[in-house]
Amino acid sequence: MKTVLALAFSILTITGSYAQSPNADDQLLFAPDQPAPPEQPCITLSNKKILCGKADDSGSQLLSVFKGVQYGQAARWQPSSVFDEYEPNGYEALQYGARCPQPIWNPKDQLRGEEDCLYMNIWAPAGAIKNLSKLPVMVFFHGGGFMAGGADKAYHAADGEIIELYTGKSFSADQNIVLVTVNFRLGILGTLATDGITGQEPSNGGNYGLQDQQTALKWVQKHITSFGGDPDQVTIFGVSSGAMAVGLHMFSADSSKDLFRAGIMQSSAASYKYRNKEEGRDLFYFYLKCLRAAIRNPESDECALTAQLDDLEKATTRQILLAQALLQDHLFKKGVFLSALPGSIAFSPIIDGSFLKEQPNVQMEKGNEKPLMLGFNKDEGVLFANFIDATGNLNAVTFNGILGRDYENPMLIVGREGYGAQTPAAHGLQPKTPATALSNLIGNSVFACPTMSANIEREKPTNNTWLYFFAQTSVENMEKPPTNPKVNNVCGPQNQWGNACHASELPFVFNNMPPNSTEEDKALAVKMNALWAQFAKTPEAGPSKDWKLWTWPKIGNPSNFNVLQGADSDANFEDLFEQSDCAFWLGEIIEKNANAILIPKQLPQE
């Protein structure tokens, strides 16, 4: 069941590892020459419930940290609702809550995550809580292809050290921000369009993961004042699919728009076309057959010919995920993951006309009402291309097959420098290889060009959008390809360091750098962390107010844009637009629609 192309999808999980907390038994019980540890912080919420966390005095000011705060509750494939009815004697939020179920590929894989997974984590300056200071709030949505990941992510540094990533230590201690990170439902459990079939009310077209994010924002609106935050100063931000979620809340989910005031999109596939309601229904019917097969025989390699609706309720979490893997296998055999094609994300949100009104790129081109900061990294495509190439199954035949399946006019692509026989060396990769061509194709067509074009081609130009370009060398050691354990860094050129790959800006944004980082890297991380925070503080003015490090021009004048790099860079918007071949990708090329052709339109039989 596990195809080569299915391996590629695990590049989006970026699950990381976890650092083990010191054992309390190993700590000194009494040290007269040391200050007494800070008291445990406990706060009273607006509904009079008590929440207790941990004190953190390791940074520039004392923080109160609350991990594993349950914010929502939901039955399987039902919309979530705000949860805040904690135990009368107090709720201890001391460690991360369970992740939502992560993908498995065969019956022997360990089940990771739980369906009871709607937890958030909060970092706040202790003084702000005491004084009810009304600080700006930043709410972060993790990446993972809408299928994997969690708010507890850690990463492997180049020296092998495991470092917790999505923490608010720097945002809160150094920038006076209240930071919130969120778990939300993923994969088929987060996107299966069951409305109108199972009779659920209210309808949200299967967008359970996005609706969970909205539930978290509602919880923040209700309770963040108790943490010293201001519900009127909420900025949402995310990376990869988390950035795509930000775009959906900003440009498509009308019911979310009163829950935040600004957004930041890091490495978003800005022009991605999501499934519509009919296509979501087709996917649902096909998934039912896969679920029937997984229930009958966990070792099954094919979906069943018939289906039963009651399987949705009686199936175990493992059976649900095995059926998800069967459905993925069907999609991956079509090669859909290897492109920017609509439908290439196996389990993505659905434009149902209710919760999500329209494709977000349509509204984005009209102009955004809220302040927006967005950008991309220099070598976005390398991570994907190297990971797939490490399986040993990416060659000229498979690459050309991708082009022929995905585009109406594939010969226009292979005839251009960078995507065929004339492919030059790029991103540290060897010239004239399918991996280099695929890296160029993904980086340009999925990330660079849509990000730049979404902000210069508008019916009504706005003055509240800022663009960044991240070009600093990666410090994050991504996952090893499963079939090639000798490859320990799919972000680097020929397994070395030296690229600014997809998601490699994260340690800089959160200022959670390895201790042995260069002084240049450390300085850039401090600057980027402050710039992100400054945008949250003054989004209408952008990241430049009271900040002299860079000039942040608005997109209305794209002749200048911000380059995030430790050393001085002579990069400019026009050159980058040309180097990324954006005139071609935004004009001549015509995509096919995988949403309409990959899923058989067959109703289930009882």
Question: What is the token pair recorded at 502?
Answer: 């997809």
Cα 331-332-335 angle, rounded to 5 deg: 105
Q: Is 19 helix (H, G, I), strand (E, B) or coil?
A: coil
Question: What is the token pair recorded at 68?
Answer: 């594993």
The alpha helices in 443-600, defined as continuous H runs, are 449-453, 506-509, 519-537, 573-579, 582-585, 594-597
- Confirm whether pTM is higher than 0.85: yes
Res 484: pLDDT? 53
Res 2: pLDDT? 38
The reply to whether omega before 202 is within 30° of 0 (cis) is: yes
- What amino acid positions are annotated as catalytic residues? 240
- Are 171 and 510 contacting, i.e. CB atoms less than 8 angstroms apart? yes
- Are 598 and 334 contacting, i.e. CB atoms less than 8 angstroms apart? yes
Cα–Cα separations (whole angstroms), residue 106 to 109, 204, 338, 463: 6, 30, 22, 50
The values of phi and psi at residue 386, to 5°, are -65, -40
CB atoms within 10 A of CB 222: 16
Write the class of the CATH domain 77-102+116-193+201-269+361-606. alpha beta
- Contacts made by residues 23-29, CB under 8 angstroms, sequence distance 24+: none
Tokens 């150094």 sit on residue: 174
The size of the chain, in residues, is 606
Q: What stretches of 224-367 adopt beta strand conformation (E)? A: 229-239, 262-266, 275-276, 350-351
For the stretch 241-265, what's the b/e string if a residue is b when 16 or more beta carbons lie within 10 angstroms of its beta carbon?
A: bbbbbbbbbbbbbeebeebbbbbbb
* Beta bridge partner(s), residue 52: 42, 92
- Are 2 and 103 contacting, i.e. CB atoms less than 8 angstroms apart? no
Tokens 């058989």 sit on residue: 600
The values of phi and psi at residue 594, to 5°, are -65, -25
Q: What stretches of 428-510 adopt beta strand conformation (E)? A: 465-470, 476-477
Q: Is 466 helix (H, G, I), strand (E, B) or coil?
A: strand
H or E element: which one contains 64?
A: strand 63-70
Indicate the domain borders of the chain.
77-102+116-193+201-269+361-606
**Alpha-carbon gap, residue 580 to 451, rounded angstroms:** 11
How many CA atoms lie within 13 Å of 532's alpha carbon, on the beta-carbon side? 35
**Alpha-carbon gap, residue 599 to 281, rounded angstroms:** 10
**Alpha-carbon gap, residue 605 to 511, rounded angstroms:** 54
Res 464: pLDDT? 79
Res 467: pLDDT? 84
**Alpha-carbon gap, residue 571 to 561, rounded angstroms:** 9
H or E element: which one contains 182?
A: strand 178-182
Res 237: pLDDT? 99
Low-confidence ranges of the chain (pLDDT < 70): 1-36, 158-159, 195-204, 332-344, 391, 405, 454-463, 474-489, 492-498, 543-562, 566-571, 588-606
- Are 438 and 401 contacting, i.e. CB atoms less than 8 angstroms apart? no
**Alpha-carbon gap, residue 260 to 326, rounded angstroms:** 38
pLDDT digits (tens, 9 = 90+) for 14-27: 333 333 333 333 33
Residue type, 133: S
Beta strand 154-157 with 72-73 is unpaired
State the sign of the Cα–Cα–Cα–Cα dihedral 127, 128, 131, 133: positive
- Are 378 and 498 contacting, i.e. CB atoms less than 8 angstroms apart? no
Tokens 């022009």 sit on residue: 271
Res 38: pLDDT? 81
**Alpha-carbon gap, residue 51 to 65, rounded angstroms:** 11
Max Cα distance, the chain (Å):
76
- Are 446 and 452 contacting, i.e. CB atoms less than 8 angstroms apart? no
Res 197: pLDDT? 61
pLDDT digits (tens, 9 = 90+) for 393-410: 778 887 877 777 677 777
Which 8-state DSSP code applies to residue 444? Answer: I
